[in-house]
Amino acid sequence: METTYKLEAKNINIWYGEFQAIKNINLGVREKEIVALIGPSGCGKSTFLRNINRMNDYIEGYKSAGDILMDGKSIYRKEVSVEQLRKQIGMVFQKPNPFPKSIYENVAFGLKIQGIKDKNFIDQRVEEALVQADLWREVKDELKKSALALSGGQQQRLCIARTLAVKPHVVLMDEPTSALDPISTGKIEDLLVDLKKEFTILIVTHNMQQAARISDKTAFFYMGELIEYDNTKKLFTKPNNETTERYITGRFG
């Protein structure tokens, strides 16, 4: 029986000018699964991740070949608007990047730019997204306060709430805990495991323990190639590839 994927990369190649950053990557992600992308710096993890919601489109010299399918349909179809695509495939970045607005306005932002004006609906979605991001209890009496007054960990959970408010199908995360302390990191890891009940998540991480703790599958990238992709437990205990084994045992990277 053929596997149905929520997201599938087929023969993805990416160049920046003459430099080929990604070489012939094939990878399928099932619905409500967490996939971790690991590998040394500069190996193409973030480039690959950003291709999934077309964030590389604006980089000078960028070109790509191959296809990315969501629910079996190409994200490069002529009728796909990038804005609409990014509503369905949300992104959380390495450093928390809240807008210099109130907590409420940060979460409501995506809904308002979609032209939604129903205040009750927006209030409800803001609350739901903050609950999903495990931030509601901490901020529910301070929604008018500036988002910039929150701690780093709270700001990152706010950015996650902002992404979730528009109800994406897929959430991409580019090292979302690398700028955070261990307690905040732990909260976000717990949160991701909980969010998997509703969302499909791809996370780039340098932290192999994090990949082992939270992901269902792990993809090991090296020098622009996908070296190995397997169930996380198997990849970390019995990798098929010697390069994978050398990386996960800390012999390079």
pLDDT in tens, 196-235: 999 999 999 999 999 999 999 999 999 999 999 999 999 9
Distance (Å, whole) CA 36 – CA 66: 21
The answer for residues whose C-beta is within 8 angstroms of residue 182's C-beta and 6 or more apart is none
- pLDDT computed for residue 1 by the predictor: 59
- pLDDT computed for residue 2 by the predictor: 62
Q: Which amino acid is at 171?
A: V
- pLDDT computed for residue 8 by the predictor: 97
- Which residue stretches of the chain are H helix? 45-52, 82-88, 103-113, 119-132, 136-139, 152-164, 182-195, 208-214, 232-237, 242-248
Nearest to 45 by CA among 134, 141, 175, 169: 175
> For residue 119, how many other CB atoms are within 10 A of its CB?
9
- Asked if 162 and 107 count as a contact pair (C-beta separation under 8 A), the reply is yes
Torsion of CA 227, 230, 234, 238, to 10 degrees: -20
Distance (Å, whole) CA 156 – CA 153: 5
Give the chain's residues under pLDDT 70.
1-2
- pLDDT computed for residue 251 by the predictor: 86
**pTM exceeds 0.85:** yes
